[in-house]
Amino acid sequence: MSDSEFRHLVRISGRDLEGGKTLIVALADLKGVGYNFANVITTKLDLDPRVRLGTLTDEQVEKVEAAIRDTSKSTLPKWYYNRRNDPETGEARQLLGADLDFAQKNDIEDEKNIRSWKGVRHSLGLKVRGQRTRTTGRGGRTVGVRKAVLVAAAKEAAKKEEK
């Protein structure tokens, strides 16, 4: 592909990204890649973060995909990754897409199995992180009093009795 061609869709890490978006914003559309992580990746690869994704060459796209996929080669600090201190391996990794969803579901199941406080809250479908539950988190049930409806029904009943 020549440098002058513009691609409207660019496939990175198994997902089609819009070519009209800037590089950082387009990479942040990937599940597991945030704006800051995308910014660090682009600066490590010496790419302009303001360039449109569709203007990148195939080689540049491959470099970006390799940098996102295999973060073990990079020298980023541990706190940049979305999976720090993985319970199975103990290393810091960057998970993407379905792998991230799978890891989160496994973590929640582990919490439930060991019957920790968070696991119990998850299993009961309640708030987990210390939020208040007095008025919020009712799961779609009606909140408040339906006084106006009851008053109207009582008035109609009174009119029917008068007749």
Q: How many helices (H) and strands (E) does the chain have?
A: 6, 2
Please report, for the chain, the start and end positions of each structural domain, with discontinuous segments joined by +.
9-80, 97-162
Domain 97-162 belongs in CATH node 4.10.910.10:
yes
**Chain segment 13-32, per-residue pLDDT in tens:** 888 999 999 999 999 999 99
The 3-state DSSP class for residue 93 equals strand
Question: For residue 118, what pLDDT is reported?
Answer: 95
- Binning pLDDT at 50, 70 and 90, where does residue 3 land? low
Place of tokens 């479908």: 125
Element (H, E) at 159: helix 147-162
- Binning pLDDT at 50, 70 and 90, where does residue 107 land? very high
Quick one: tokens of 48?
């302009």
Question: For residue 89, what pLDDT is reported?
Answer: 86
Q: Measuring CA to CA, which residue among 110, 99, 9 is closest to residue 61? A: 9
Domain 9-80 belongs in CATH node 3.30.420.10:
no
- Report the C-alpha gap between 110 and 20 in whole angstroms: 41
pTM for this prediction: 0.72
Q: Tell me the average pLDDT across 112-120.
A: 96
